[in-house]
């Protein structure tokens, strides 16, 4: 009854707004039937995108469902209004810092809760004669923060370009990635520690079942993950549980492909045991009785677990054996990606480290990463953290996919510096800055973008739409035609291969270049 009353209020509100706006009339989107029941949504100001927010795709993971695999969302009677984002997953309240302003963080007024398994859908209002491609945004945040409600991840613009766009929330931190011997013993699959990834798989399963109701094609789903979101998507591609869920993948600055990078179950269980003992919780009932806030204290990054269920082996080894799910892949990283953890070493200390670690190969290492002065040494250390963590990991994934898979790989390098804020340092093409460009959301970012920035965003988002549609960023998207046609107004993006390591640079120009840092990647592979 409450849902019906709320729906009536929403209808009256939108009817009033329609009367106030003669130039762009608003109308309530048609009610949609999904597997749990009927939902209603909202419409954007220009009337061309229907928006549904806060749709539950799984049961709230609270109480006895804390640290359990996601369960089906309950059904409801009547019409459920879906006009506001669901709660953000449990995480510390974010504070703007450095390059990361409020537009890149979860909304300050958004609730934070363990009850967080919700998704959002943006769908073109115009009916099409065929199902539309689906783009699913998997947010980053180091597996400890982030949300599908972040302003720069909004899906309206990409829906206006013809995609059905979905953003999802999933469990984070200790709630999403705690492994523990008692949790493993309780599990029917004898595993623990991968709840956040299992949430994402549940979301993709929900999308496969329900996206047709929004006009989307359940057989043409592209996952677009940034940072930890990309690591998540890679884990799903490597998992037997991900079979048939994805047709294409976009990876933005988030590899998880270096040797033995994920935790093995026993080591993860040991860490979890220590975590719970420090909180005086020695049984499952005591663990589940802890308040969410007490669990957040002292929380830290945990990576997915090789548990013989979600991951049957280390990701790189699964690819080497050809056991991954085969997908089209668009992958890349940023010039300003970095993973520096602490102050830079002096030139003298850096040279001493290089000689001690690399011996006879130290001279080659120092030619790649010079250290003639302290300033140069500091810049080299930033470059190493980018090349080693982000660049090389992306290169390894692209190389493995091009060798082992049947689908093509497309690689990019984002080098466009975002506009500086007066009185603040320049942050360049920092980690995560590409997201607003590819989703055509620069208008949501309070920076003084140039006309070229807007042109670059338009081109990048067009490549992304083309890829999500056909698996080829060069093929122009068209709702009116089923014929594939190369977009001759855009620079041709050559496919990536081990023999032809060409990537598309998005910077002061859009052009194919040789993959930067190849000399460093060759060094890493033989060190």
Positions marked catalytic: 227
* Cα separation values, 405 from 13, 115, 327, 399, 400, Å: 52, 38, 8, 10, 8
Task: Check if the beta carbon of residue 243 is closer than 8 Å to that of residue 205.
Answer: no
Nearest CA among 169, 148, 186 for reference residue 67: 186
Q: Are strands 79-81 and 118-124 parallel, antiparallel or unpaired?
A: unpaired
Q: Which two tokens stand for residue 440?
A: 């055509």
* Cα separation values, 410 from 75, 222, 430, Å: 41, 14, 21
* Polymer length in residues for the chain: 527
> What DSSP string runs through 95-161?
--BTTB-GGGS--TTS-B-S---EEEEEEESS--SSPEEEEEEE--STTTS--TT-GGG--HHHHHT
Task: Check if the beta carbon of residue 14 is closer than 8 Å to that of residue 42.
Answer: yes
> What DSSP string runs through 360-372?
GGHHHHHHHS--S
308 Rama class: left (phi>0) / alpha (psi -120 to 50) / beta: left
* Cα separation values, 58 from 12, 61, 73, 197, 480, Å: 30, 8, 4, 13, 36
Dihedral sign for Cα atoms in the order 254, 476, 501, 456: negative
Please name the helix (run of DSSP H) or strand (run of DSSP E) that holds residue 270, with its range, or none: helix 265-278
Q: Which two tokens stand for residue 15?
A: 């009817």
Taking the C-alpha atoms of residue 206 and residue 38, their distance in angstroms, rounded to an integer, is: 15
Q: Which two tokens stand for residue 49?
A: 């995108």
> What DSSP string runs through 190-201?
S--S-HHHHHHH
């Amino acid at each position: 009854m409450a849902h019906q009353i709320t729906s009536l209020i929403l209808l009256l509100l939108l009817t009033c707004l329609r009367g106030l706006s003669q130039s762009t009339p608003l109308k309530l989107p048609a009610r949609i039937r999904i597997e749990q029941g009927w939902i209603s949504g909202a419409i954007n100001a220009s009337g061309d995108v229907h928006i549904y927010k806060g749709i539950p795709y799984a049961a709230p993971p609270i109480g006895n469902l804390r640290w359990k695999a996601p369960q089906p969302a309950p059904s409801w009677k009547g019409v459920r209004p879906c006009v506001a984002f669901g709660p953000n997953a449990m995480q510390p309240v974010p504070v703007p810092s450095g390059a990361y302003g409020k537009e890149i963080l979860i909304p300050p007024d958004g609730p934070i809760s363990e009850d967080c398994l919700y998704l959002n859908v943006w769908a073109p209002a115009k009916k099409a004669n065929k199902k539309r491609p689906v783009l699913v945004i998997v947010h980053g945040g180091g597996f400890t923060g982030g949300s599908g409600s972040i302003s720069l991840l909004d899906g309206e613009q990409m829906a206006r370009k013809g995609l059905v766009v979905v953003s999802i929330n999933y469990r984070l931190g200790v709630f999403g990635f705690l492994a523990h011997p008692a949790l493993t013993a309780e599990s029917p699959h004898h595993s623990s520690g991968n709840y956040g990834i299992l949430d994402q798989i549940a979301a993709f399963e929900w999308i496969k079942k329900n996206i047709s109701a929004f006009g989307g094609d359940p057989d043409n789903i592209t996952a677009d993950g940034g940072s930890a979101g990309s690591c998540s998507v890679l884990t799903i591609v490597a998992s037997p549980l991900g079979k048939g869920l994805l047709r294409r993948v976009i990876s933005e600055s988030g590899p998880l492909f270096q040797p033995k990078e994920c935790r093995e179950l026993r080591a993860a269980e040991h860490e979890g045991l220590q975590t719970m003992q420090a909180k005086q919780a020695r049984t499952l009932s005591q663990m589940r009785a802890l308040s969410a806030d007490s669990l957040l204290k002292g929380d830290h990054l945990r990576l997915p677990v090789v548990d013989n269920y979600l991951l049957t082996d280390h990701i790189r080894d699964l690819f080497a054996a050809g056991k991954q799910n085969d997908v089209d892949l668009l992958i890349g990283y940023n010039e300003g990606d970095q993973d520096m953890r602490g102050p830079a070493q002096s030139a003298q200390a850096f040279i001493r480290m290089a000689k001690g670690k690399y011996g006879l190969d130290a001279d080659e290492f120092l030619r790649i990463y010079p250290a003639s002065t302290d300033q140069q040494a500091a810049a080299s250390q930033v470059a190493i953290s980018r090349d080693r963590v982000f660049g090389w990991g992306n290169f390894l994934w692209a190389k493995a996919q091009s060798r082992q898979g049947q689908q093509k790989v497309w690689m990019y390098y984002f080098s466009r510096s975002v506009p500086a804020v007066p009185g603040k340092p320049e942050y360049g093409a920092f980690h995560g800055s590409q997201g607003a460009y590819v989703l055509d959301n620069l208008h949501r970012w309070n920076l003084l973008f140039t006309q070229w920035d807007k042109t670059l965003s338009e081109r990048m988002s067009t490549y992304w739409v083309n890829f999500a549609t056909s698996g080829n960023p060069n093929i122009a998207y068209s709702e009116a035609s089923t014929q594939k046609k190369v977009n001759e107004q855009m620079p041709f993006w050559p496919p990536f291969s081990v023999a032809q390591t060409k990537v598309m640079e998005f910077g002061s120009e859009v052009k194919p270049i040789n993959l930067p840092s190849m000399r460093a990647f060759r060094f890493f592979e033989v060190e």
